[in-house]
Amino acid sequence: MRGRLREVAALFIRLGLTAFGGPAAHIAMMRDEVVRRRRWLSDQEFLDLLGATNLIPGPNSTEMAIHIGYTRAGWKGLLTAGVCFIVPAMMIVLSFAWAYVRYGSIPQAQWLLYGVKPVIIAIVAHALWTLGRTALKGTFHAALALGAFIVYLRGFNELAILALGGVLAVIAVRPRIAPVSVLAGAPITLTALLAPVPVSLVQMFAIFLKIGAVLYGSGYVLLAFLRSDFVVRLGWLTDRQLLDAVAIGQVTPGPVFTTATFIGYLLGGLPGALLATAGIFLPAFAFVAASHPFIPRLRRSPVTGALLDGVNAASLALMAGVTVQLAGAALVDVWTIAIALASAVALVRAGINSAWLVAAGAVAGLVLRG
């Protein structure tokens, strides 16, 4: 067991330092490591964990890391994987936050992202191709994924797409089951206060705990939650500070939710950063611990197995939709297209570790732009 814990710790520390590109890219890199290279899981087992992750709120890639750690090394693996994935990213964001407070600006990282972004596109595309052969078990699931992909690009709510995908898959195997209605989520109402409220670290922790416990969706949904509480309701941040915080969460490796670390540091220094990080990530550990034991049962039951298959197909469609959206910002010229194609060939032909490809992309960005 100690050997497995060391394996889990080493893998997720490295991913916490190199996993750029947001949840879809993180999940693709995890699949490359634990399915293709280390063979800890089969593609079907990985997909089932991904489906279960999409059914609960919280940061998807962090919850996938926690699920994988739990599968590999039990409860200690659950804690080890989550902490090792979060802490390296948190430390990087802390350094940016310190520089931001001291110098009033964010250190430039555009050269890095120029080379890394096209590599991320290639990694996610490769994972989608491989996982799709397992998840799309026939014409019905392929059509379901295509429909989910189209409605996602048209702006439909992610949770509604996942839920509807699961329901339609259940109806396909149990036609007598009546369809259920799916709520896309009520719009957030923002009510501005006339004067800002004094900063309270306890209140800040409670807000991040709430966000971690209820948030589904992308970083843009996180932005809406943060603005509602910290800019409009409490007046603790300006819009500029919030956008800078979200930008740091996007451009640093590891979980995007480390945006909370940046905000916590702005509001309360190092204690604020630690409390904010703990608050937004604690629900993920609790949700995974509660849901993980039920995943094998979901697969064994015909109805819940069909539900999981539908959610898996919809999950891959969401990953594909995010990849298409990111590709527009990543593939901006001949050089970035060449980097993406070279990365894809390296993955398919040579089986190169995705972390090395990310490092190579960073070097390419430095050479071409730095």
The mean pLDDT value for 174-187 works out to: 46
**pLDDT at position 109:** 57
Neighbouring CB atoms inside 10 A of 218's CB total: 17
**pLDDT at position 331:** 87
d(CA 281, CA 208): 8
Answer whether 261's CB lies under 8 Å from 93's CB.
yes
Residue 194 has pLDDT above 60, yes or no: no
- Residue 206, helix vs strand vs coil: helix
Angle subtended at Cα 261 by Cα 259 and Cα 264, rounded to the nearest 5 degrees: 110
Would residue 74 be called left, alpha or beta, if left means φ above 0 and alpha means ψ between -120 and 50 degrees? left
Answer whether 199's CB lies under 8 Å from 267's CB.
yes
Answer whether 314's CB lies under 8 Å from 174's CB.
no
Answer whether 56's CB lies under 8 Å from 291's CB.
yes
**According to DSSP H, which parts of the chain are helical?**
2-18, 23-31, 43-55, 60-103, 110-135, 139-153, 158-173, 201-214, 219-226, 239-251, 259-291, 295-300, 302-330, 334-345, 354-369
157 vs 230, which has greater pLDDT? 230
**pLDDT at position 180:** 45
Nearest by Cα to 62 from 6, 22, 14? 22
Residue 192 has pLDDT above 70, yes or no: no
330 vs 113, which has greater pLDDT? 330
332 vs 356, which has greater pLDDT? 332
Q: Following DSSP, what letter does each residue of 65-96 receive, concatenated?
A: HHHHHHHHHHHHHHHHHHHHHHHHHHHHHHHH
- Predicted confidence (pLDDT) per residue in 15-29, tens digit: 998 887 677 778 888
**pLDDT at position 105:** 57
Residue 295 has pLDDT above 60, yes or no: yes
- Give 188's pLDDT tier (boundaries 50, 70, 90): very low
- φ, ψ of residue 163 to 5 degrees: the values are -65, -45
- Share the mean pLDDT of the chain: 82
Share of the chain above pLDDT 90, in %: 31
182 vs 359, which has greater pLDDT? 359
- Predicted confidence (pLDDT) per residue in 246-255, tens digit: 767 767 788 8
How large is the C-alpha radius of gyration of the chain?
Answer: 20
- Predicted confidence (pLDDT) per residue in 64-114, tens digit: 999 999 999 999 999 999 999 999 999 999 998 898 887 765 555 567 668
The mean pLDDT value for 359-364 works out to: 85
Neighbouring CB atoms inside 10 A of 348's CB total: 13
d(CA 366, CA 264): 31
- Give 264's pLDDT tier (boundaries 50, 70, 90): very high
Share of the chain above pLDDT 70, in %: 84
Residue 347 has pLDDT above 90, yes or no: no
- Predicted confidence (pLDDT) per residue in 206-219, tens digit: 999 988 887 765 55
d(CA 148, CA 143): 9
The mean pLDDT value for 147-160 works out to: 83
